[in-house]
C-alpha cells in the first residue's frame, strides 16, 4: 500500500510540474507574440554607434571625451540621418533631415555636451540630465548659472542625445565614469571656487553616486552641494525583472524584445522609444546607491556627504517623495539639507478624483520635529473656507516642529492640477515644452488636442502630461540662494 501511495504521489507531482511548465511556456509564448506584434524597428533602433564612450576606453581627460563625442555625432550623421528616407519640412520625425523636429537643423543642437566658461568664475556647476533625455533639459539652469558668474558643463551622458539604440547596451558604470571625467575637468578650471552638481531624474542618481565616490577617492573633488530635481533614488521593483525580456529576445533572436516601447521619435531632445536595458540600469544604479549608503552608515556615517537641496513633485509616476525621504534624506545627519515638495493644485477640487492624496504622506513630515532636514511644501493658500489659487510656502526647519507660511507671489494656473516627473526643469517660456505662447508648430507643452481616440500617432496621455513648471522662477531663485551665486 505504501509503495502504491508513494508512486501515486510521484505521478501527481510530475503532473503538477509538467502542468506548471506548460502554463509558464504558454504565458511566455503569448507575451512574446504580443510584443512581436508591435511596430517594426527602424534604423535608429538597430544601428550600432560604436564610437560611443565606454568606461573600458580608459580616457585620460575630458578633452578626449569631447573628441570622441565629435566622432560619435559624425557617425550618427552618416549611419542614421543619411540613410533615413527624406521627409518634408512638416514632418515630426527627428531623424528626417530638415524636418521641424530635426535637432541638427536647429540653431543649437542641445543633444551635445555644452560648456560655458567665465574668465574669472565664481563657481563651477556640472549638470546631469535624465534617462532617455539630453542636456537640453537643464539648459535654462545653465543660462542662469552662467549669468551669475559660474563655469557650467552640461554633460551628455553616454547613450543619450543620438538615437534610441544608444541605450540598448550602455551600462550605468559608463555614465558614472563620464561624470568623473567632467567633474575633474571642471574643478581644474575653477580652482578653489565652489563646485556643485545639479542632477535631474537619473542625473540625480548619478549625482548621489558621484558624491559617495568622491568621499572615498582623493582624486575626485567633493561637491560643495548637490541640487536634485525629481531624483531617481528608487524605482519600481518590476524594473529588476525587465532585463529578462531583453535576454529572452537575445536568446530567441527577436530584436523587438529589447524594447519596452517602440514609438515615433517626434521629440528632438528625448527618446520616445525606451530600451529594456535603460530600465535595468536605472534599477541597478538605485540598488548601488542603497548598498553604498548602507555601507557608509555602518562605517563612519554620512557626515561628509554634501549639502542637498531637492525638488520633487508630490505626485510623480516615476519616483516618489516617500522613497526619496526613506532612502536618502532620513539617513543624512543635519547639515543644511532641504527637501521641497510641490503639492497638487487643490483649487481644482481634484482631491475627490485622486487615487491617493499626497498630503497623507507629507503632512507627518511637516509636523515632525525629529527630522534632520528642512521641509518646504508649495501649496494653495486658503481664504476663509475656500481654497485659493495663490500659493504659499509651508516650511519647517530641521529638528523643529514650528511651521511658517509665506506667499511666493505665484498662482496655480487654472488648467493645471499638478506637476509631473518631467515638468520641474522647464519654465513656461521653454520653446519646446512650454505653454505654447509663441504658437510654434514644434511646441509640445500645451497640445491638448481633442478628437477620436486611437487616431493620433502620439498618445493623448503623453500629450496631456504636464511638461513645464509654473514655479520655475521661484525654484531657480531658491537654487541660486543655496549655491550663494
Residues 318-330: what's their mean pLDDT? 89
Strands 150-155 and 225-229: unpaired
Dihedral in degrees, nearest 10, Cα atoms 81, 84, 86, 89? -60
pLDDT, residue 447, reads 61
Q: What Å distances lie between residue 104 and 44, 101, 323, CA to CA?
A: 15, 9, 38
Percent with pLDDT over 90 in the chain: 66
Residue 459, pLDDT > 50, answer yes
Q: Report which of residues 31 and 136 the model is more confident about.
A: 136
pLDDT band with cut points at 50, 70 and 90 for residue 110: very high
Q: What is the pLDDT of residue 244?
A: 59
Q: Is 438 a residue whose pLDDT tops 60?
A: no
- In terms of phi and psi (left: phi > 0; alpha: psi -120 to 50; beta: otherwise), the region of 72 is alpha
Grid coordinates standing for 24? 509558464
| Separation between Cα atoms, residue 301 and residue 276, nearest integer Å | 35
Helix (H, G, I), strand (E, B) or coil at 136: helix
DSSP one-letter string for 77-118: IIIIITTSPP--TT---TTSTTSTT-GGGSSS-TTS-EEE--
Mean pLDDT of 376-405: 90
> What is the residue whose three cell numbers read 560643495?
224
Residues 197-216, mean pLDDT to the nearest whole number: 97
Q: How many whole angstroms from its chain centre is CA 126?
A: 16
The predicted structure's pLDDT at residue 31: 47
Predicted TM-score (pTM) of the model is 0.90
* Average pLDDT value for residue range 337-344: 96
Taking only the tens place, the pLDDT of each residue in 265-284 is 999 999 999 999 999 999 99
Residue range 209-220: mean pLDDT, rounded: 95
pLDDT at 448 (0 to 100):
60
Please tell me whether residue 307 adopts helix, strand or coil conformation: strand
C-alpha span between 170 and 185 (Å, rounded) = 23
CB 333 within 8 A of CB 372: yes
Hey, what's the cell of 324? 526619496
What dihedral angle (degrees, nearest 10) is formed by the CA atoms of 203, 204, 206, 209?
180
Per the CB < 8 A criterion, the answer to whether 245 and 255 are in contact is: no
pLDDT in tens, 372-390: 999 999 999 987 677 889 9
Compare 44 and 246 and report the one with higher pLDDT: 44
pLDDT at position 33, please? Answer: 46
The answer to whether 280 touches 265, Cβ cutoff 8 Å, is no
Residue 80 DSSP label: I
- Nearest residue to 472 (alpha-carbon basis) of 428, 413, 434: 428
- pLDDT at position 40 is 78
Task: Please choose, from the candidates 349, 272, 342, 313, the residue with its C-alpha nearest in 3D space to the C-alpha of residue 422.
Answer: 313
- Alpha carbon of residue 90 to chain centroid: 29
**Beta carbons of 208 and 233 less than 8 angstroms apart:** yes
Q: Assign 3-state DSSP to the chain and report helix, strand, coil percentages, each to 5.
A: 40, 15, 45
Give the residue from 157, 153, 138 showing the smallest Cα distance to 230. Answer: 138
pLDDT of residue 246: 55
Tell me, what's the pLDDT at 339?
Answer: 97
CA 95/CA 108 separation, integer angstroms: 16
**What mean pLDDT comes out for the span 283-300?**
90
Q: Per residue in 68-94, is it b (16+ CB within 10 Å) or e — as a string?
A: bbeebbebbeebbbeebeebeeebbbb
Which residues on adjacent β-strands are paired with residue 155? 128
Q: What is the pLDDT of residue 235?
A: 67
Which position has the higher pLDDT, 367 or 35? Answer: 367
Q: Kind of pairing, strands 404-411 and 386-396?
A: antiparallel
Per-residue pLDDT at 443: 73
Q: What is the pLDDT of residue 354?
A: 81
Contact 200, 128 (CB under 8 A): yes
Q: How many CB atoms lie within 10 A of CB 162?
A: 26
- The full set of domain ranges for the chain reads 1-37, 43-483
Return the closest-CA partner of residue 205 out of 287, 92, 98, 315.
287
Sign of CA dihedral 241, 460, 202, 314: negative
What is the rounded distance in angstroms from the CA atom of residue 47 to the CA atom of residue 263?
Answer: 16
**Residue 34, pLDDT above cutoff 50:** no
The yes-or-no verdict on residue 16 having pLDDT over 90 is no
Distance, CA of 426 to CA of 445 (rounded, Å): 10
Query: Does pLDDT of 71 surpass 80?
Result: yes
For 326-345, what is the mean pLDDT? Answer: 94
Reported residue count of the chain is 485
Average pLDDT across the chain, whole number = 87
pLDDT in tens, 124-179: 999 999 999 999 999 999 999 999 999 999 999 999 999 999 999 999 999 999 99
Where does 43-483 sit in CATH, by number? 3.40.50.1820
In the block, which residue shows the cell 517626434?
266
Q: Which three three-digit cell numbers place residue 60?
A: 585620460
Amino acid at each position: 500500500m505504501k509503495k502504491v501511495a508513494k508512486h501515486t504521489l510521484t505521478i501527481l507531482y510530475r503532473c503538477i510540474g509538467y502542468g506548471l511548465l506548460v502554463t509558464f511556456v504558454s504565458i511566455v509564448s503569448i507575451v512574446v507574440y504580443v510584443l512581436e506584434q508591435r511596430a517594426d524597428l527602424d534604423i535608429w533602433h538597430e544601428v550600432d554607434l560604436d564610437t560611443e564612450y565606454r568606461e573600458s576606453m580608459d580616457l585620460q581627460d575630458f578633452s578626449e571625451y569631447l573628441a570622441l563625442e565629435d566622432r560619435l555625432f559624425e557617425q550618427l550623421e552618416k549611419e542614421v540621418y543619411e540613410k533615413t528616407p527624406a521627409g518634408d519640412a512638416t514632418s515630426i520625425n527627428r531623424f528626417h533631415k530638415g524636418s521641424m523636429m530635426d535637432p541638427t537643423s536647429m540653431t543649437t543642437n542641445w543633444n551635445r555636451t555644452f560648456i560655458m566658461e567665465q574668465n574669472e568664475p565664481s563657481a563651477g556647476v556640472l549638470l546631469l540630465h535624465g534617462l532617455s533625455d539630453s542636456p537640453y533639459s537643464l539648459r535654462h539652469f545653465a543660462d542662469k548659472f552662467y549669468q551669475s558668474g559660474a563655469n557650467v558643463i552640461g554633460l551628455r551622458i553616454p547613450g543619450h542625445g543620438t538615437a534610441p539604440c544608444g541605450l540598448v547596451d550602455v551600462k550605468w558604470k559608463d555614465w558614472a565614469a563620464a561624470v568623473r571625467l567632467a567633474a575633474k575637468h571642471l574643478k581644474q578650471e575653477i580652482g578653489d571656487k565652489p563646485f556643485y552638481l545639479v542632477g535631474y531624474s537619473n542625473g540625480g542618481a548619478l549625482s548621489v553616486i558621484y558624491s559617495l565616490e568622491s568621499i572615498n577617492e582623493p582624486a575626485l573633488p567633493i561637491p560643495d552641494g548637490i541640487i536634485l530635481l525629481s531624483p531617481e533614488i528608487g524605482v519600481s521593483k518590476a524594473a529588476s525583472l525587465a532585463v529578462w525580456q531583453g535576454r529572452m529576445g537575445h536568446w530567441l533572436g527577436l530584436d523587438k524584445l529589447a524594447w519596452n516601447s517602440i514609438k515615433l521619435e517626434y521629440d528632438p531632445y528625448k527618446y520616445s522609444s525606451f530600451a529594456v536595458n535603460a530600465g535595468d540600469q536605472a534599477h541597478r544604479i538605485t540598488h548601488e546607491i542603497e548598498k553604498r549608503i548602507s555601507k557608509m552608515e555602518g562605517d563612519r556615517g554620512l557626515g561628509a556627504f554634501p549639502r542637498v537641496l531637492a525638488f520633487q513633485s508630490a505626485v510623480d509616476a516615476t519616483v516618489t517623495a516617500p522613497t526619496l525621504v526613506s532612502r536618502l534624506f532620513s539617513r543624512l545627519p543635519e547639515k543644511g539639507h532641504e527637501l521641497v515638495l510641490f503639492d497638487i493644485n487643490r483649487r481644482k477640487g481634484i482631491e475627490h478624483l485622486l487615487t491617493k492624496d499626497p498630503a497623507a504622506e507629507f503632512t507627518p513630515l511637516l509636523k515632525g520635529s525629529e527630522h534632520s532636514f528642512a521641509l518646504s511644501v508649495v501649496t494653495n493658500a486658503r481664504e476663509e473656507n475656500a481654497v485659493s489659487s495663490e500659493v504659499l510656502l509651508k516650511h519647517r526647519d530641521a529638528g523643529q516642529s514650528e511651521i511658517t507660511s509665506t506667499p511666493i507671489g505665484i498662482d496655480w494656473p487654472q488648467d493645471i492640477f499638478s506637476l509631473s516627473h518631467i515638468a520641474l526643469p522647464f519654465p513656461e517660456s521653454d520653446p519646446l515644452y512650454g505653454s505654447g505662447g509663441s504658437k510654434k508648430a514644434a511646441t509640445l507643452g500645451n497640445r491638448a488636442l481633442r478628437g477620436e481616440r486611437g487616431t493620433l500617432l502620439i498618445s493623448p496621455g503623453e500629450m496631456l502630461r504636464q511638461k513645464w513648471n509654473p514655479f520655475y522662477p521661484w525654484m531657480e531663485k531658491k537654487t541660486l540662494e543655496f549655491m550663494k551665486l
